[in-house]
Structure 1
Amino acid sequence: MALWGGRFSGDASAMFKQVNDSLPFDYVMASEDILGSIAWSKGLLRADVLTEQEQATLEQALKNLLAQVQAGEIDFLQSTEEDIHSFVESHLTDALGDLGRKLHTGRSRNDQVATDFRLWCKEHLIGLKQDLLRMLESLLKCASRHDKAILPGYTHLQRAQPVLFGHWCLAYVEMLKRDISRIDDCIKRLNQCPLGCGALAGTTFPVGRDELAADLGFDGPCLNSLDAVSDRDFVLELLFTASTGMMHLSRMAEDLIFYNSGEAGFLHLSDAVTSGSSLMPQKKNPDALELMRGKCGRVFGHLQALLVTMKGLPLAYNKDMQEDKEGAIDAVNQYHICLCIGVEVLDGLSLNLEACRKAAQQGYANATELADYLVSKGVPFRTAHDISGQAVVTAIEQGLPLEGLPISTLQSLHQSIDKDVFDWLPLEVVVNKRNQLGGTGHEMVTRALYLEHENLDKLKAALSHNMDDER
């Protein structure tokens, strides 16, 4: 049932319907459209457009349809309706006759779709927050399982200084915490209700926009009808949030792909998240991680596409804006999948402690420690830096680690060096001396893990409380 046929004497072409009809993808907002319609029926009751009996009849019919939707009993793709809004209205009209045709009084698909999509985005942002909390928990568990493991830290993909594996995990914990905060910010800004703004100029019916907003769980109504129906900042923010989160997952995937490589061999991935080669029977490929890395670009593309779509649109609504949904729906789905597979990767991961330690020792990662030792003896840091570099060159020439050089060789580089230098150079000492806030020392990492577990419990409790409020 077209919602706009009165002005037209001819039918839309099949090709136009193919490009125009959105039901094949916007059916995912069926529940939101029904809930919005229930709220609108209450607004029409307040405006004396509906009697109490009419409103009750409409609400019950909508609840019956919602039950069917939630039970998966409706095949939307078999319908010829233009969009989810016409689908719901057609269902009501078939069930209730002219009463069903009253529901759209004072409402436009412009404010209707803006409301539906805000509700959909909010629900799925909350779902992504749950996914992020699960992954954060997996990172903390992974760090705790390997709390004493040392591996080389890198800059420029060159071995730099040794770090605890738990410190590596905690770096991504920080990223996930920022991702969670971005979701909270996104929800805060989108949580305004466009319903009652009409096509662009507002509605003439006193539906009670504050009550509409409260009924649908919004913080309040949108304050400008032109902006309300044409704003898609909330979709862009969702896509940016997903893109930033996917970028973090992609960086983690890249680290783990390298750590899993034959050249590094720092860790093993479980069979559950790897695949083999059709030709080479020895291969065990990190495909789950590579797909996480690859899907990152796909999500970036959806953000860029909508930015380009929106940049030249005049106020108010334009049909170009229908392009907001497929990208956002796919981005949310891909981000969700990658967070879930990330949990599986982390839960099944095991470290090769010997390979990690050997690599940390071989990279002359204690060269900075030798410089710091010289500073403790009163040598200016720049001078100490040069001497330590000379020591590394000598060690490389002799095929030895720094701590393997004879004391006589070290003393030939500077007279301040004494036998106590060897107390500064062991791997554990190098790591554990970095016990200032934010450092990789065992004391700091242990403390950080404890605090992050506490923080995780608070985030879970707050989310559970907010979801109960929404219900």
Structure 2
Amino acid sequence: MTEESAGDVIRRDRFSGGPARDFLSSLAADERIFEADLAVDRAHVVMLTEQGIIDDCNAADILSALDSVEKDGHAELPGGEDVHEAIEAAVIQRVGEDGGKMHTARSRNDEVATCIRYRLREDILDAIEGTLALREALTETAAEHTETVMPGYTHLQPAQPITVAHYLLSYEAAVARDTARLLDAYGRINQSPLGAAAFAGTTFDVDRERTADLLGFDSVLGNSMDASSARDFLAETLGALATHATTISGLAEDLVIFANKGYVDLSDDYSSTSSIMPQKKNPDTLELVRGTAGDAVGGLSGLLTNLKGLPRAYNRDLQLAHPHAFRAVDAVVNATDVAAGAVATATWNADELAADAGDGFSTATGVADALATTGMPFRTAHEIVAAAAEGIDDADDAATIAAKLDAAAEGVLGEPLWTRVNRETVEAALDPAESVSSRDSLGGPAASAVETQLDDARARFGDDADSVAARRDALAQANEKLRAEVDSYV
């Protein structure tokens, strides 16, 4: 068989030419699943042989040819509509017509569905490991700043003092949920469609559980029509990636703003300068992290639009579905790595943070709480503090603010504030550090509460790291098992 005719192994002279051939082809894009297809081919051939569907000699020839194809690489494949056809053609080039027996009892429909899952599960483990690295950076940095008071914001307005640790752990908690979503998605990715054939199963006595085991899948998809056509695992994966990208986009935005205010210095490794303005230090990498969310959300939208309204079983539209997931996982993994590095290498400026922690009368809630502890209704306390806030300036010291609070109380209560509460109690509540330390409820910013959050974060991290390691080990063991079976023939 010549190289020119090798790509026609499936259809021979029927539908093998014409201007639409290139339009139909996904061969170049399929380089990503080249190794996956070889693994799927090997497992399928081993199973066919064990089931007596092809003989040992034929299996040895095919498996040796697959090793040769792998050594030569994707770039040396003959032409074809896709990598599956091209690999089959390459095997037939080496073995002869009997090489075509490798495709017995399967379709490209179940083959490609298996290859996508086989490759995507590795990519998702990479993504999960990226979230773990980010969580580790957030947790370790937080542990260094349990006493570093900073302004807390709502609506970008000064709200209440918190600590750098409390702030960073808020993102650790969010990223931990992103990890959990990706782990959940992995479980539904790691199910084998192989053996479903085009969509209606096969007349051959195949062992689907055997190929699933050789390929490291946790289970087999039961319904053959669902197995070949299902792409909801891509939607779930992209949804989890888009959610995580949105999480780190918020983190990136915060750090860009904090850098602008002088609260944090980003490492030069995660910054750049202007081509014309030599004084500039720009948080460019974080701006790209922020923008990655748009790519991920766009990919999810494109995927769901591709899948919307498709009739059941296989449709060629599905050829365009999985690239959305692969593009997104690459972008999000890279962005997560950058976010983790930026967090780990940033320097938090404690003096600037502390100086601004009380801006905008951000201890007002603490004062209202202090008044409410005397038995005063919180709404009355809120009214007094709100009335005083209109005349309070960031330059006012504690004594001046206390006097303004007393005057406001006269207007609301008709009596001095100090008949209800001790002045020293109010002045203590006005101190940002005291305000933080008093907020020791579960999940609060006080150092004692943060230590509990750190312990929880470390425990979650350990559990999730173990889960990833177990999945990596399972895949490695399956790969070794498959290789051993192949070697027994070749």
In structure 2, what is the Cα distance between the partners aligned to 1:79 and 1:103? 17
1:276 aligned residue: 273
1:352 aligned residue: 349
Deviation at 1:442, TM superposition (A): 0.8
Q: 2:78·2:90 contact (CA, 8 Å) conserved in 1?
A: no
Q: How does 1:289-308 map to 2 (within 5 A)?
A: 289-308=286-305
SS of alignment partner, residue 278 of structure 1: coil
Q: Structure 1 3/405 Cα, relative in aligned 2: closer, same or farther at 3 Å? A: farther
Q: How does 1:407-446 map to 2 (within 5 A)?
A: 407-412=402-407, 413=409, 414=417, 415-420=419-424, 421-446=426-451
Work out whether 1:400 is the aligned partner of 2:396.
yes
Give the letter aligned to residue 313 of structure 2.
A
Aligned residues: percent identity?
33
Q: 2:8·2:16 contact (CA, 8 Å) conserved in 1?
A: no
Aligned Cα root-mean-square deviation (Å): 1.9
Give the letter aligned to residue 155 of structure 1.
T
Q: Structure 1 381/418 Cα, relative in aligned 2: closer, same or farther at 3 Å? A: same
Deviates more, 1:427-436 or 1:75-84: 75-84
Work out whether 1:252 is the aligned partner of 2:289.
no
Deviation at 1:254, TM superposition (A): 0.7
Q: 1:239·1:303 contact (CA, 8 Å) conserved in 2?
A: yes
Q: Structure 1 326/47 Cα, relative in aligned 2: closer, same or farther at 3 Å? A: same
Q: Structure 1 78/227 Cα, relative in aligned 2: closer, same or farther at 3 Å? A: closer
Q: TM-score, normalised by structure 2?
A: 0.90
Give structure 2 stretches of 5+ with no counterpart: 1-6, 410-416, 477-490
Deviates more, 1:318-327 or 1:240-249: 318-327
Give the letter aligned to residue 411 of structure 1.
D
Deviations 1:41-85 (A, max 9, x none): 12211332211232233223324444x2xxxx6352885332110
Q: How does 1:154-303 map to 2 (within 5 A)?
A: 154-261=153-260, 264-303=261-300
2:27 aligned residue: 23
In structure 1, what is the Cα distance between the partners aligned to 2:390 and 2:231? 58
Give the letter aligned to residue 227 of structure 1.
D
Give the letter aligned to residue 368 of structure 1.
T
Give the letter aligned to residue 420 of structure 2.
S
In structure 1, what is the Cα distance between the partners aligned to 2:144 and 2:81? 54
Give the letter aligned to residue 12 of structure 1.
G
Give the letter aligned to residue 160 of structure 2.
Q
Residues paired across the two proteins, number: 460
SS of alignment partner, residue 442 of structure 2: coil
Work out whether 1:323 is the aligned partner of 2:320.
yes
In structure 2, what is the Cα distance between the partners aligned to 1:9 and 1:159? 68
Q: Structure 1 399/10 Cα, relative in aligned 2: closer, same or farther at 3 Å? A: closer
In structure 1, what is the Cα distance between the partners aligned to 2:56 and 2:92? 18
Give the letter aligned to residue 310 of structure 2.
L
In structure 2, what is the Cα distance between the partners aligned to 1:330 and 1:77? 24
In structure 2, what is the Cα distance between the partners aligned to 1:461 and 1:418? 53
Q: 1:121·1:238 contact (CA, 8 Å) conserved in 2?
A: no
Give structure 1 stretches of 5+ with no counterpart: none
Deviation at 1:366, TM superposition (A): 0.7
Deviation at 1:10, TM superposition (A): 6.0
Q: How does 1:75-94 map to 2 (within 5 A)?
A: 75-76=74-75, 80-94=79-93
Work out whether 1:363 is the aligned partner of 2:368.
no
Give the letter aligned to residue 158 of structure 1.
Q
Q: 1:46·1:208 contact (CA, 8 Å) conserved in 2?
A: no
Work out whether 1:343 is the aligned partner of 2:352.
no
In structure 2, what is the Cα distance between the partners aligned to 1:247 and 1:151? 24
In structure 1, what is the Cα distance between the partners aligned to 2:67 and 2:377? 77
Give the letter aligned to residue 462 of structure 2.
D
In structure 1, what is the Cα distance between the partners aligned to 2:224 and 2:154? 51
Q: Structure 1 383/219 Cα, relative in aligned 2: closer, same or farther at 3 Å? A: same
Q: 2:31·2:74 contact (CA, 8 Å) conserved in 1?
A: no
2:18 aligned residue: 12
In structure 2, what is the Cα distance between the partners aligned to 1:177 and 1:422? 39
Give the letter aligned to residue 169 of structure 1.
L
Give the letter aligned to residue 304 of structure 1.
S
1:372 aligned residue: 369
In structure 1, what is the Cα distance between the partners aligned to 2:150 and 2:100? 68
